[in-house]
């Protein structure tokens, strides 16, 4: 399901953080959100498989982000 951020019952709360500035870190609260079939992504019954594919891509992206962050930190170590 794709949930529109302006749907009734959806609340987005940004989390200010200097470590991940610009990353869009925050919380999404869903309170009795009702969606119609137009929000369905992919065929019915295949949600977990689709989710697994997306999570795998997100994990790869997160790993690359962590490597870049470590390189940035290591590159500034020892500089006064």
Instruction: Report pLDDT digits (tens) over 50-64.
Output: 889 888 988 999 899
Q: What's the pLDDT tens digit per position in 30-53? A: 999 999 988 888 888 888 888 898
Nearest C-alpha neighbor of 14 from the set 29, 3, 35? 29
CB 42 within 8 A of CB 51: no
**What is the reported pTM?**
0.54
Rg of the chain, C-alpha, whole Å: 18
């Amino acid at each position: 399901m794709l949930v529109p951020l302006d749907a009734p019952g959806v609340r987005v709360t940004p989390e200010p953080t200097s470590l991940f500035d610009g990353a869009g870190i925050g919380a999404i609260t869903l309170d009795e959100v009702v969606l119609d079939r137009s929000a369905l992504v992919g065929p019915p019954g295949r949600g977990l498989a689709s989710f697994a594919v997306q999570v795998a891509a997100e994990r790869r992206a997160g790993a690359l982000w962590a490597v870049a962050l470590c390189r940035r930190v290591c590159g500034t170590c020892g500089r006064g």
